[in-house]
């Protein structure tokens, strides 16, 4: 079956082209949430260093920087993957 090449043109011969976004508003909203979670993870990971290089600060190894912040970053990346794979058009009827 041959594809009808004239279907992309109107009666005057002008090309009918309507630009479309790859994702819909829902996808971009979820992506923004994922980006915020990733940013929060990196913000929680920051700090804990010492101003004096001769003094060791054990705060660098606390629970927030070692467990919570990396978990938030990974969760944020998971949210991003979900937002990319989400197809809101398939649920409309």
Q: Which of 70 and 51 is assigned the larger pLDDT?
A: 70
β-sheet bridge partners, residue 15 = 9
Quote the pTM value: 0.73
Rounded to whole angstroms, the Cα distance separating 14 from 69 reads 54
pLDDT digits (tens, 9 = 90+) for 42-56: 999 998 777 888 888
Whether 5 shows a pLDDT value over 70: the answer reads no
- Model pLDDT, residue 51: 80
pLDDT value at residue 1:
45
């Amino acid at each position: 079956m041959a594809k009808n090449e004239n279907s992309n043109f109107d009666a005057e011969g002008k090309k009918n082209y309507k630009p479309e976004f790859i994702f819909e508003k829902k996808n971009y909203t979820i992506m923004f949430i994922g980006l915020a979670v990733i940013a929060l993870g990196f913000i929680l990971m920051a700090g804990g260093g010492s101003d004096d290089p001769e003094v060791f600060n054990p705060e660098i190894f606390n629970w927030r920087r070692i467990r919570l912040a990396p978990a938030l970053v990974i969760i944020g990346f998971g949210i991003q993957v979900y937002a990319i794979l989400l197809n809101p058009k398939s649920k409309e009827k």
